[in-house]
Amino acid sequence: MKIAILGVGLIGGSLALCFKGKPNLYVIGYSPNPASVEKYIKRGVVDDATTSMEEAVADADVIFLCVPVGMLETYLEKLSELPLKKGCIITDVGSTKGAIDRCAKRLALKDVYFIGGHPMAGSERSGVEAASSYLFENAYYVLTPNEQVPQEVYDRLEQLLSLTRARIIRVDAQLHDEIVGAVSHLPHIIAVALVNQVARYNDANPLYEALAAGGFRDLTRIASSDPVIWRDILLHNKEVLLDLLADWGREMELFRRLLLEEDGEGIERQFSLASEFRSRLPERRRGVLHAMLYDLYVDVPDHPGIIAKITTLLSDHQINLGNIQIHESRADVPGVMRLSFRNDQDLAKAEQLLKDAGYTVRY
């Protein structure tokens, strides 16, 4: 199977690393820039790379568009004019899905299929230097096939993407943009606006920078994201974001009123509500889009090496862990380890193994 990756940056490079070296897969990267092509090969993220789009996509079974959102439509239009293998799947990784989905419908591709995609994993870093084959593990990977995509074609892409070890989930393109607007795009705007507000104060007094503590850093990591990537994302989700910003204004207005009225109870209520919802958030957005992990709780004494002991026991029996979390760990209190599995069978196997090894196990 030939896989073409157009734009081998953080996301394209991470996908390439998931596919490269797997049996019967050949990965070719494309960039219009010869220096980038050289870099892709030198870093070993692809089997080959080229500055010729024609060469990259000729006979490809799957083509991944991994360029900024603002370039996606141009790339798809170019592909629609090139000779492609019959049955070829074109997919993208863009953070917005509505516009590219409409573009694919408009182009009415012949004998090839477009399926929109968006791995819900990434970072504030960019470029192939930041790529990792682990990037998508346990993250959601949204696919937004339209009605024209046959089930067999969808299944083919899903099977290939299983190599990313992400959880594939099917979502309508418009719904995707609404949800991701709220949980990803709006937070990026808020982080950037907050940093810029504080930066202005800091111009007058550098003590702001010196005192910027954990909370500020936690909340603003994503303000370091790539400006071009985010310019495109925001512009392509304009309508959704305008509504979300209006709601955000109302949230801020609520706090303004609570302060003006010195409504302590109201402030407490806001913090409690937020804390309650946030405590339900999974480590990796589990639950937001309804799919569940299979969790097991194990009482663990606070011994050095206990985590290694349990994870080794599971891996020795080929049981894949989706996630691991320690809930309480003090010298005088036994900790509780939450182990999350991807399916029922792994959960049942792990439960038996741990019980046999003398651990107390609960759901």
Ligand X SMILES: NC(=O)C1=CN([C@@H]2O[C@H](COP(=O)(O)OP(=O)(O)OC[C@H]3O[C@@H](n4cnc5c(N)ncnc54)[C@H](O)[C@@H]3O)[C@@H](O)[C@H]2O)C=CC1
- N-to-C CA span, the chain: 42
Residue span 125-154 as binding mask against ligand ENO, x where in contact by CB under 6 A, dash where not: ------------------------------
Rounded to the nearest 10 degrees, the angle between the axes of helix 98-107 and helix 69-80 is 10
67 lines the binding site for ligand X (CB under 6 A): yes
Q: Which is nearer to ligand X, 10 or 314 (CB)?
A: 10
93 lines the binding site for ligand X (CB under 6 A): yes
Q: Which of 52, 74, 123, 352 binds ligand ENO (CB under 6 A)?
A: 123
Residues from 148 through 177 that contact ligand X (CB under 6 A): none
Closest separation in Å from C-beta 245 to ligand ENO? 18
126 lines the binding site for ligand X (CB under 6 A): yes
95 lines the binding site for ligand X (CB under 6 A): yes
User: In 10 A of CB 111, how many CB atoms?
Assistant: 9
272 lines the binding site for ligand ENO (CB under 6 A): no
Which of ligand ENO, ligand X, none is residue 93 near (CB under 5 to 8 Å by kind)? ligand X
Q: What is the 3-state secondary structure (H, E, C) of the chain?
A: CEEEEECCCHHHHHHHHHHCCCCCCEEEEECCCHHHHHHHHHCCCCCEEECCHHHHHCCCCEEEECCCHHHHHHHHHHHHCCCCCCCCEEEECCCCCHHHHHHHHHHCCCCCEEEEEEECCCCCCCCHHHCCCCCCCCCEEEEECCCCCCHHHHHHHHHHHHHHCCEEEECCHHHHHHHHHHHHHHHHHHHHHHHHHHHHHHHHCCHHHHHCCHHHHHHHHHHHCCHHHHHHHHHCCHHHHHHHHHHHHHHHHHHHHHHHCCCHHHHHHHHHHHHHHHHHCCCCCCCCCCCCCEEEEEEECCCCCHHHHHHHHHHHCCCCEEEEEECCCECCECEEEEEEECCHHHHHHHHHHHHHCCCCEEC
Q: Which of 9, 122, 181, 322 binds ligand ENO (CB under 6 A)?
A: 122
Which of ligand ENO, ligand X, none is residue 31 near (CB under 5 to 8 Å by kind)? ligand X
124 lines the binding site for ligand ENO (CB under 6 A): yes
Q: Which is nearer to ligand X, 30 or 341 (CB)?
A: 30
Whole-Å CA distances, 220 to 213, 238, 344: 11, 22, 37
Q: Which of 18, 53, 65, 222 binds ligand ENO (CB under 6 A)?
A: 222
Closest separation in Å from C-beta 184 to ligand ENO? 5
Q: Which is nearer to ligand X, 134 or 255 (CB)?
A: 134
Residue 145 has phi, psi (to 5 degrees) of -65, 140
117 lines the binding site for ligand X (CB under 6 A): no
Closest separation in Å from C-beta 122 to ligand ENO? 3
Q: Which is nearer to ligand ENO, 82 or 228 (CB)?
A: 228
Which of ligand X, ligand ENO, none is residue 340 near (CB under 5 to 8 Å by kind)? none
116 lines the binding site for ligand ENO (CB under 6 A): no
Q: Which of 80, 138, 184, 340 binds ligand ENO (CB under 6 A)?
A: 184
229 lines the binding site for ligand X (CB under 6 A): yes
Query: Interface with ligand ENO by CB under 6 A: which residues?
Result: 95, 120-124, 184, 222
Query: Interface with ligand X by CB under 6 A: which residues?
Result: 7-12, 31-32, 36, 66-69, 71, 93-95, 118-119, 122-123, 126-127, 226, 229, 233
